[in-house]
Structure 1
Amino acid sequence: MELDPDAPTARKDGPRRRFDEISLALVFLTRLPGVRTDWSRPLMSAAWAFPVAGAVVGLVGGGVAALLATLGAPPLLAATLGVAAAVLFTGALHEDGLADTADGIGSGRDRARSLEILRDSRIGAYGVLALIVSSLARVTALAALLEAGAWTAALPAFVLAAALGRGAGPAVMAALPPARDDGVGAAAGRPAPAGVAVALVLPLLAGLLVGGWPALPLALAPLVWLGWLALRRLGGTTGDVVGAAILLTETTALALLAMAWGGAA
């Protein structure tokens, strides 16, 4: 059997390629300064690294909240500023997706008009309500976790929730067809099954190790509902739907962890 002459090069390139995929996920999903990436790669080639970027988001938001609570800030204030830090760190990318998806799906219009609404920069009543509910849920859940333990409950919970949320994004893109041929969602490509599996297993395994089971697997249940709505109303997924899936999963995971860990305080 002949050996592939490029095989040694490919093996040497492996760690470099993984590092590039992590940097691609970080640059797309956060506003972390000083990170360069190769935009010639399709975004979903970095699907497996999405929870890595999510964990960084959780470290920022959870770290701010934990630090403020340690310095004497009331839990609700510390949680509000922690969630705000995470939103600023991501550039409100997923909040924008959630609002647009809520407006598009909630409009009750036909598929073509619903897709137009998703691209409209203006926000409607459904979008406002979705943002209010998700923000309140995250803030109150994080406040409860701060009372259970700033560094032992709130910080790891935010890291796990943010990581799982980002892992849910590629899963939605793999499960649903693109709703249109252009846009961010179509340009990102379809993730490989192995990348989707890693993106979900990494945060779930981390949750198992720190006692977040079965709260984290349950946080994926609303994705079935969102996927059904997107397929029925839009014909598939878009970049906004992926953003909505990420934020919906993160919010649900944080709420479930607050009930599991905060109630045991």
Structure 2
Amino acid sequence: MSSSSTSSPSSSSPSSSSAFDGLRFAFGTLTVLPVRVRRWDRGAARGGMLWAPLAGLVVGGCAAGLGLLLLVLGAGPPLAAVASVAVPAALTRGLHLDGLADTADGLGSGKPAEDALRIMKQSDIGPFGVLTLVLVLLAQAAVLAQLYDGSWARGALAAVASAVAARLALTLAARTGVPAARPEGLGAAVAGVVPRGAAPALAAGAVAAAGAAGACLGGHDGVRAALAVAAALVAAQLLLRRCVRRFGGVTGDVFGALAETAATTALAVLALGP
């Protein structure tokens, strides 16, 4: 990786190498897919967080695919919905749900930041975490069951849009100016790596893309899908502000909580209206 060498592969095509390192970082840290992360430096982390919505698209596509397969095989909407909720959990080893539970315990403890962070690092889950997990999973499954029951296409769109919104929330949380609460861990590795201007540009693109995808089902669906992604990002940002004030910055657990909050918010918005 010497900067003076002109014959090495990395120096001959730095942009290509950087892009692939970012992709590996995104899929290697945000999914269980067999992708080896070769670099853990800030440059790879920046690329990984910028590619995070693409990882969400893959996760959401798998979730929608399993739900639709079960519907085709004769299963009812509730089972298809549960499957679509289970896929993102499985593809992330449950880390986002674990982060949600730990963050809920930390916020609910009422203790100073240092003590709250210590609670979040413990392996057990407290009452706030259990209650939050139950409510979030029930809400996600209920919405998807409702949407699958009305239209398989709307259910599939919801599974994909919520997964993309969840990972986009991580991109926004990793933008410049958001500090890490601890000097170690995934939160410290990605905190502040995303350029300030890139995050809102990706957010605007995702909202527009969701609206375009929803519009294929109808005008109201297009508006609802765009609003769902926008509302998901707003909800995640509100939680991010709370966590930064409460803990002094972000952690890996906070990132998980942001992802699940965004996904649940997006689904809730998609369930509203006729």
Matches within 5 A, 1:1-265: 12-33=13-34, 35-42=35-42, 43-150=45-152, 152-174=153-175, 176-191=178-193, 192-210=195-213, 211=222, 212-260=225-273, 263=274
**Aligned structure 1 segments of 4 or more residues deviating by more than 6 angstroms:** none
For residue 41 of structure 1, what is the amino acid of its counterpart? D
State the shift of 1:94 in Å: 0.5
Moved more, 137-146 or 178-187: 178-187
Separation of aligned partners in 1, 2:55 and 2:138? 23
**Does the aligned pair in 1 maintain the 2:82–2:141 contact within 8 Å?**
yes
Considering only aligned residues, what root-mean-square deviation do their CA atoms show, in Å?
2.3
Moved more, 173-182 or 82-91: 173-182
Separation of aligned partners in 2, 1:189 and 1:216? 22
For residue 136 of structure 1, what is the amino acid of its counterpart? L
Separation of aligned partners in 2, 1:194 and 1:20? 21
State the shift of 1:86 in Å: 1.9
Seen in structure 2, the aligned counterparts of structure 1 residues 162 and 50 have a Cα distance that, compared at 3 Å, is: same
Seen in structure 2, the aligned counterparts of structure 1 residues 15 and 258 have a Cα distance that, compared at 3 Å, is: farther
Give per-residue Cα distances to partners, 1:198-232, cap 9 Å, x unaligned: 54234222112121222221222222431232133
Moved more, 55-64 or 18-27: 18-27
Separation of aligned partners in 2, 1:203 and 1:92? 25
- Percent of residue pairs bearing the same amino acid type: 36
Give per-residue Cα distances to partners, 1:122-167, cap 9 Å, x unaligned: 10000001111110111111111212322x2122221111111101
Separation of aligned partners in 2, 1:15 and 1:197? 24
For residue 223 of structure 1, what is the amino acid of its counterpart? A
Separation of aligned partners in 1, 2:105 and 2:93? 20
For residue 240 of structure 1, what is the amino acid of its counterpart? D
Separation of aligned partners in 1, 2:238 and 2:210? 23
Separation of aligned partners in 1, 2:157 and 2:190? 30
State the shift of 1:111 in Å: 1.3
State the shift of 1:194 in Å: 4.2
Moved more, 115-124 or 211-220: 211-220
Separation of aligned partners in 1, 2:131 and 2:266? 20
Higher RCO (CA 8 Å, separation ≥ 6 residues): 1
State the shift of 1:180 in Å: 2.2
TM-score normalised to the size of structure 1? 0.88
TM-score normalised to the size of structure 2? 0.85
**Does the aligned pair in 2 maintain the 1:165–1:248 contact within 8 Å?**
yes
Separation of aligned partners in 1, 2:242 and 2:40? 32
Give per-residue Cα distances to partners, 1:44-96, cap 9 Å, x unaligned: 33211000001111011111111101211111111112211221111111001
